[in-house]
Each structure stands twice: as C-alpha cells, then as structure tokens.
Structure 1
Amino acid sequence: MITTSVAEAADSLKRGQVLAYPTEAVWGLGCDPYNEAAFNEILKLKQRPIEKGVILLAGHISQVEHLLARLTQEMRDTVIASWSNRSPTERATTWLLPASEDIPAWIKGNHPKVAIRVTTHPLCVALCNAFNGFIVSTSANPAGLEPARSLQEAHKYFNHHLTYLNGDLGLSQEPSRILDAETGQIIRA
C-alpha cells in the first residue's frame, strides 16, 4: 500500500506492519520498536544481522527525555542542541545513549547503548507524533546496496511487502552521523 496519510502510516505501525518512509537524507524502514515480529521482518527484508542494532527516531525531545537522564547537564545540552538547532540542509546527528530498561534487547543488538535521533524532518515529526512515540529507523535497502532515495527505489527493493508513506526527502545529502553521547566517540562520521 502507498499512502500520503500520516495517520494511515501510523496506524500501519500500530498494526505491526513495516513502513518505508522518507527521512532527512534517505528512505527508511520503520516499525513499532516493541513489536518483535515487525522488527524481525525488517531484518529479513534488509538481510541484516540482529547484532548491529538500529536507530530509534523520535519527533520530539519529550519522547526520549527518559534516555537523556543519565547524561551530564553539559552533554544533555549538547545532544539537545544538535537536534533542535540543525538547519534543514545540515547532516542529522544520531546519539548513542544509555539504554533504559524499556528498550528491547533486539533494538540495541550487541550494544549496551541505544541509537537515538530526534528529527526535524516535518513528515517524520508528524509520523512519530501520530504514532505517539519513537519508531525504528534503518535505511531502506538490502544489506550491501545503496539506500533508497525515492519511493520508486524503495519499492524496487521491497515490492509489496510493506506500506509506503509517500513524501519528500529532507535536504540533507548524507545519512545521520552517529556519536557516543558519553564519550564523544565518532561511530559514523
């Protein structure tokens, strides 16, 4: 199914379906992070090992506030500033944060932390808000292939195996960089 309705897309997530949607730079695959069957479907579609973990995408800082609690105030301010003070053409930042007990093990993979990005992409913000929380966000491509940059490319990869939220990509040219919030280490430059 292809839709332009954020409400329909959020409902498909709530029903345990996998969703392809445009993000800041590439198309992503998403699902309810607490639905293990939907998550396993993403791994199967991507041919991705569970050990790698995935990013969680939020539409507002309040959706991830509990994950910022263990950071120093200075680091917390840095993380929030990177999410809220980003221009639309600037590369987004994903942060590795200490995982709370409510984050499923399959989301983290073999990692003790969870990868979180609060987006400013209007369609993604609306989607997360309609879903009422963060969603899985991993690039829409089988392992080893380039991420989809259009609905047509995503559909070519995955055919009718999922729901597509049609819309525009953001203005960033590259997928998010990934940094460790506690150590400052660059995971993906």
Structure 2
Amino acid sequence: METLVLKATQLDQAADFLKKGELVAFPTETVYGLGADATNEAAVKKVYAAKGRPSDNPLIVTVSSVSMVEKFVQPLSDEARHLIQQFWPGSLTMIFKLKPNALSKTVTGGLDTAAFRFPNNQTTLDLISKAGVPIVGPSANTSGKPSPTTAKHVYHDLNGKIAAIVDGGPTTVGVESTILDMSVDTPSILRPGAVTKEDIESVIHRPVIDELHHVGAKQTPKAPGMKYKHYAPAAQVYIVDPDDDWHDVVDWIKSHPQPVGVMAFDHVIKTINWPDNADVISLGSDAKSAAHDLFAELRDFDNHPEYKIIFTQGIDPEGIGEAYMNRLNKSAGQMHFKQL
C-alpha cells in the first residue's frame, strides 16, 4: 500500500485509520511518533512489525488528557501531579504502575508499568481526542535508525508499512522526551531529554537518580532506548571528544582515500582548513542546536552511501547536552575518534 501523507486539516481521516486498527505517524515537539490504538493489541503488534522492533522494548503511551492516564494507572502521587502541572503538555514522559490488566503486555513489554506522554503538539492532541483512545507512540522510524524529525523522514522508512503520516512540519526539539520512572521510591531518569534533572528536582524538591540509562542483555528495559543500539546511520559514527584536537581529525581525513562526513559546531568549522574529501555539516552554535539537528543530519548522510565514517563533535553532558550525548553515544555504539 502507498502511505498517505495527510495535513493537519485531515485529522478525521487519520483518526478513522486508528479506530480501524491501522498505523498513523504523528508529529510532536520532539520527534515523529508511530501511532496505534493502545487498547487494541492486534494494532500494537503491527507497530513492532512495521519498525522491526524487539518485542521486549516497551512502548510509550501518548495521551491528550490527564484523565486518560488515570483510566489505566494506580493513583497518581502528589509529586507526579506537580510534575504534570509543570511539564505537561511537554517533553517529559513518566512511568507509572498500572492497574491490573489495564494494558496489554504487548504495550508494556510484559511489565506492570507503562510510560505516558502528553506531547506539546495541538495537532496530535486533537488526533488522539478524535480517536477517543490513547495511542502508542514510539519514534516513527525503522528500529535502530536515527529518529525522524520530519514527515519526509517517516515516509523514507515506513512508506508502504503504515496507513498514513500526519505532516506537522519539522519538530522543534529534535531529540526524544525525557523518561522519568515514577514507579520507584526514588524517581529515576531512564532517558535524558529537554527536561533536565535540575528541572525535575526544582519541582519535587528532592534528588532524582540520573544513572540508569542502560540495562543488561537479559533484562527487560522499562523504557525505550535502554537496551538496543539506537539512532545509528549506515556509516560508522565516531565521537570527537572535547579534549581531542580537531587538527588530528583533519590529518586522519587527509590520509583516508574515501569521503568522510563531519558534524561540528560553527566555531570549529571556521577555524579549520578542511580537506576536499571532508563533507562538513554545521551543528549550529550550542547544545540546543546540536540536539535539534543531530538526527536530521545523520539521516542526510544515509542518503549518501559513499560515506562510511562520520566524525561528530562531542560536548560536556550538561543540560540538554546530556540528551545530545546520550543519543550520540548510542549512534556511535560508544566509538570515539581516539579509538581509531
């Protein structure tokens, strides 16, 4: 089938697809999500098939109201309600304990918890309201590839595999939401994003754990992105750490006969005399622009298979820089320039 690309004015058609158990990609402020009726197990299974996603990788449930969350979860704590008031709609996903048998284990990865997100995108909130059900919302890409930040990215990966894409234009944040586990005694960040540890602590007035971004091979992750390789283009990405000398990178590129991709900040780009076989792309001027551009630029290199290596600038993991480095490390498979 040919995947339809719908405008924001065609939400009735998109909602009808969801009601019929079909898959619809949707925009958020972070990345595009792949939607299916979260209460329809057969529809949810189609998400795993379309993405090629491992079945023990749980799905985020995307909602358009707090009352929609309350239908499925155990009573929300005061802390959770304070966080909801501060950050929803927005780029914070929270994991809650579920009521017994509230959602299929196909959604939860077999766990008794689920992650819920209330995105800051009116088009998608209207879509969910029209569908009348929460929708699962993993990134709308082939599993393991860089997440999509435009409808074009979704179409590239999933054309013919899903019913429709709602085109809401480019996303504004560019990396997925922060995932905060509220089902444990001490709230824990399982995936960093635009909402930072400091942001969360300023609301709940106690420390949160920020060291649980990975699980072992035999463990079931409580959130996406904790176990499997993610965000990787066809080329091998190498991280150029803050203490690396870019002139050493240039010397390596000069000695390499094939074209090489480079992603760096403007201040680096301007100070280097780049060799002809270097294709240099700007990440802007700061961590915010780098996070916004990372996935789109990695995807752009995928359109040019002659590039087998991409050197990408690493930064200090502070603020949204933590989210950027989390995604970059997964894209690179933890590979750094100094390892060459």
Q: CA deviation at 1:12?
A: 0.4
Tell me the residue number matched to 1:94: 93
Bigger drift between 58-67 and 144-153 goes to 58-67
Tell me the residue number matched to 2:16: 11
Q: Is the 8 A contact 2:141 2:157 kept in 1?
A: yes
If the length of structure 1 is used for normalisation, what is the TM-score? 0.89
Q: Is the 8 A contact 1:60 1:119 kept in 2?
A: no
Tell me the residue number matched to 1:34: 39
CA RMSD of aligned residues (A): 1.7
Q: Deviations over 1:100-156 (max 9, x none)?
A: 232111110032210001122111111111111311100011121101121211111
Q: How does 1:108-187 map to 2 (within 5 A)?
A: 108-162=108-162, 163-182=164-183, 183-187=186-190
Q: CA deviation at 1:66?
A: 3.4
If the length of structure 2 is used for normalisation, what is the TM-score? 0.51
Q: Deviations over 1:3-35 (max 9, x none)?
A: 221111111000110111211221111101122
Normalized per residue, which structure has more strand? 1
Q: CA deviation at 1:70?
A: 2.5
Cα distance in 1 for residues equivalent to 2:98 and 2:132: 19
Tell me the residue number matched to 2:191: 188
Q: Is the 8 A contact 1:52 1:110 kept in 2?
A: no
Q: CA deviation at 1:68?
A: 5.4
SS at match of 2:160: coil
Whichever residue aligns with residue 39 of structure 1, its letter is V
Whichever residue aligns with residue 136 of structure 2, its letter is V
Q: Identity of paired residues, percent? A: 27
- Report 1 or 2 for greater relative contact order, CA contacts < 8 Å, sequence distance ≥ 6: 1
Q: 1:43 is matched with which residue: 33, 44, 48? A: 48
Over 3 Å counting, the alpha-carbon distance change for 1:66 and 1:77 in structure 2 is: farther
Q: 2:5 is matched with which residue: 2, 6, 9? A: 2
Q: CA deviation at 1:94?
A: 0.3
Structure 1 unmatched runs, 5+: 87-91
Q: Is the 8 A contact 2:72 2:103 kept in 1?
A: no
Q: Is the 8 A contact 1:121 1:170 kept in 2?
A: no
Cα distance in 2 for residues equivalent to 1:170 and 1:63: 25
Q: CA deviation at 1:72?
A: 2.4
Cα distance in 2 for residues equivalent to 1:82 and 1:158: 31
Tell me the residue number matched to 2:264: none
Q: CA deviation at 1:50?
A: 1.5
Q: Deviations over 1:21-56 (max 9, x none)?
A: 211221111101122222111101111111111000
Cα distance in 1 for residues equivalent to 2:77 and 2:153: 42
Q: Deviations over 1:35-91 (max 9, x none)?
A: 22221111011111111110000112121123454232233322342214x5xxxxx
Cα distance in 2 for residues equivalent to 1:160 and 1:68: 35
Larger-Rg structure: 2
Cα distance in 2 for residues equivalent to 1:79 and 1:60: 10
Cα distance in 2 for residues equivalent to 1:169 and 1:58: 21
Cα distance in 2 for residues equivalent to 1:151 and 1:188: 24
Cα distance in 2 for residues equivalent to 1:177 and 1:74: 16
SS at match of 1:52: coil
Bigger drift between 14-23 and 57-66 goes to 57-66
Over 3 Å counting, the alpha-carbon distance change for 1:66 and 1:16 in structure 2 is: closer
Over 3 Å counting, the alpha-carbon distance change for 1:188 and 1:15 in structure 2 is: same
Cα distance in 1 for residues equivalent to 2:43 and 2:79: 36
Cα distance in 1 for residues equivalent to 2:65 and 2:5: 25
